[in-house]
Structure 1
Amino acid sequence: MPNTPSSKTIYRHLQKLEEEGLVEMSQRGTASVWRKKAGASGMAAKAGAMMSFDEALALQTLRRFSSRQIPELVAESLSAMFEIAETRLQKTNSETERKYSRWASKVAVESGGFALHYPSIDRDMFATVSRSLFEERKLEIVYRPRHNADNDRAKIVLPYGLVEVGGLVYLVAGTEGKPDPTMYRMDRLTRAAARLEPFAYPASFSLDAYVRQQRRFDFMVEKEAVLKLKFVGGAGDHLLEAPMSKDQKSTRKEDALHVQGTVMLSQRLRWWLRSFGPNVEVLGPATLRAELAAEAAELATIYSA
């Protein structure tokens, strides 16, 4: 018959598990009550004693810089691992280990655009949608677009993918009987319920092509065109390192930078051009130049009043 461990041995084991973030203790009168910490199972249960400082640092860095909504929502399943990593970094026994714990405070990430407060997404709804996407099952949703904010009518969609664009998350989904998929902003879903019926994910659909080649998220996509721009004041210098197209060509003439390349005409392109104000001149195509010239004339009228 195996020897029964003493209460002191059990207590030492429990203390070690507490240090590793796997259990927690509370006092009830004179009694110490121990219980498994929420989420301390699976990988988390195995990781406590084995997690190295490199692994703990990697997890904490991932947690801190998962600023986009999809990574943040997906990372919820790793919350117990993140807590164990934090506990691991707090237990430093040398200067080298202390450098690990200070590393996260030495790195920052900042968006290059104007900071907006985007609407958050319900975690349970995201979990339902992503599970239906993973299992390729039909999804029943109630969607309230801006023009129909009181809609309560449910519809059945076929989830094809999730895309995050500029802080907003979209569900790309098909509808039976329609050839093209539709984009639904996740924060405008008021209900999402997974159905039992599976669907055949279309072999002809590629989310990567939908986003990167067809440029569906550039809004009101028109056609490809050769865009010719003239920048002044150093406004377009960043394009020398981050080209706007694969066939981009650039030349300097006096104090101006001339850039041209094949791009997809869209509303997003127009927003980008407007952000440079008087520091960019559209030389071509002629239709886009005329459009922006008319806008500039209208703005001049507004600001001269």
Structure 2
Amino acid sequence: MRKATDTMLRYLELLQLIPSSPKAMSVTQLQKKLRNINLDFAVDVRTIQRDLEKLSASFPLSCESKGRANYWFWADKSAMAQIPAMSGNTALAFKLAADHLSKLMPPATLRLLVPYFKHAGGILQQTKLGKWSNKTRIIYRGPQLIAPAVKPKTQKVVYEALLDDKQFAVDYQSKERGVSVRQVLNPLGIVLKNGIIYLVATAGEHEHPRHYVLHRMSRAVLLQQKTKLNTNFDFARYVEEEKTFSYPVSGEKIKLHALFSEDAAFHLSESKLSEDQKIINKKDGKMLVKATINDTMELRWWLLGFGCEVEVIGPNSLRQEFVELTAAMNNAYNPEKPNQP
């Protein structure tokens, strides 16, 4: 069964192909033109005829029979105005979607949208909004690593399985094993983080979700079995509230107390760590920051990024981690230690 998105896009193309009276076009001609626009619009003549009959109930389309062929046309020359042309704002939305959302789109949908992306580019060249993309940028923290390549056929199967709630078989090379192992996965959701595409899925009969990176997958095959879902699983909660992609340590929240230099703490007065965050000015010029926050590895990496501009005060277990870590770093950077080539 074709997806609703495919059908909608086919309808739009079909409406734009139909000429206004006195011109007309046969169903066969419309079928060929649709196929030339996009192979995903390649449906049989009977389907095109049904499409036209359905559309004629909402739009002023008329049909004339000549022999065994049906010829369709717009009865009202101004009727095409009922189909809104792509505005500059819409074109900009398509442009931003192409730039930033492509990796999250199912390949079939992305392929269907390519003509619209190209059309949007042409529209933007004729409006001042065309300069917007050159005047805006998204910047991520830290060095931008080059994302590993994902096999297009594999991505297609994974996204199709997720979209249709079906299982798929795949060879997956985990970090621990170092070799590819054939697995049957139940896809639950896709996460894009730092250019890496992650699939949240369960394997076989296991109910606990795991993270699988798409670039370590190969030989993916879509299966007909439906995805085995845990009815209590909430993908949005799993990602956003449980912070599973922030590398949780204890799974609990901790009450962070940390002394920041004035410069390091300034941005926290504008962008809070938590709703209950408090900043207390100390006599020595330091700023004591208190906040209830998830206990994650990303929190540790963030704190380490400030170097000596931050001192972790509590909780005691986190402070002890930093005591041991700084001792190890001090040993690594010991000036009496010879440099390694």
TM-score strictly above 0.5: yes
Partner of 1:217: 245
CA contact (8 A) 2:174 2:216 kept: yes
Please give the alpha-carbon distance, in whole angstroms, between the structure 2 residues aligned to 1:147 and 1:233: 43
1:71 shift after superposition: 5.2
Distance 2:100 2:163 in 1: 25
Stretches of structure 1 lacking an aligned partner (at least 5 in a row): 1-8, 14-22, 24-34
1:62-211 aligned within 5 A: 62-66=97-101, 69-70=103-104, 75-90=110-125, 92=126, 97=127, 99-151=128-180, 153-211=181-239
- Check conservation: 1:136, 1:201, Cα contact below 8 A: no
What amino acid maps onto 2:255 in structure 1? V
The alignment status of 1:60 with 2:100, answered yes or no, reads no
Instruction: Kindly provide the amino acid, as one letter, of the partner of residue 209 in structure 1.
Output: R
Asked whether the equivalents of residues 65 and 109 of structure 1 are also in contact (C-alpha less than 8 Å), the reply is no
Structure 1 position 39, deviation (Å): 6.8
After TM superposition, list the pairs within 5 Å mapping 1:265-284 onto structure 2. Answer: 265-284=295-314
Residue identity in the other structure for 1:280: V
Q: Output the CA distance in 1 between the equivalents of 2:132 and 2:302.
A: 35
In structure 2, C-alpha distance between the alignment counterparts of 1:285 and 1:159, rounded to whole Å: 38
Q: Which residue of 2 aligns with 1:19?
A: none
Letter in 1 for 2:260: F
Counterpart for residue 264 of structure 1: 294
**Aligned twin of 1:286:** 316
Name the amino acid aligned to 2:164: E
When normalised by structure 2's length, the TM-score is: 0.69
**Counterpart in the other structure of 2:64:** none
SS in 2 for 1:102: helix
C-alpha contact 2:186 2:228 (8 A) present in aligned 1? no
> How much does 1:289 deviate?
0.6
Q: What TM-score does the superposition give when structure 1 sets the normalisation length?
A: 0.76
CA distance in 2, matches of 1:281, 1:125: 46
SS in 1 for 2:176: helix
- After TM superposition, give the deviation of residue 102 of structure 1 in Å: 2.7
Letter in 2 for 1:70: L
Q: 1:199 Cα deviation (Å)?
A: 3.2
| Segments of 4+ moved more than 3 angstroms | 35-42, 46-49, 71-77
SS across alignment from 1:54 = helix
Deviations 1:120-176 (A, max 9, x none): 32232222111111211111111101232332x311121111112232221111234
Q: Following the alignment from structure 2 to structure 1, what is the Cα–Cα distance between the partners of residues 311 and 111?
A: 46
Specify the alignment match of 2:266 in structure 1: 237
CA contact 2:106–2:159 (8 Å) conserved in 1? no
The root-mean-square deviation of aligned C-alpha atoms, in Å, is 2.9
Task: Give the Å deviation of 1:194.
Answer: 0.9
Aligned counterparts of 2:166 and 2:217: Cα–Cα separation in 1: 18
How far the C-alpha of 1:41 sits from its partner, in A, is: 5.8
Whole-angstrom distance in 1 between the partners of 2:91 and 2:172: 40
Report the alpha carbon displacement of residue 77 of structure 1 after superposing the two structures with TM: 3.7
Distance 2:84 2:296 in 1: 53
Gaps of 5+ in 2: 1-18, 24-32, 43-79
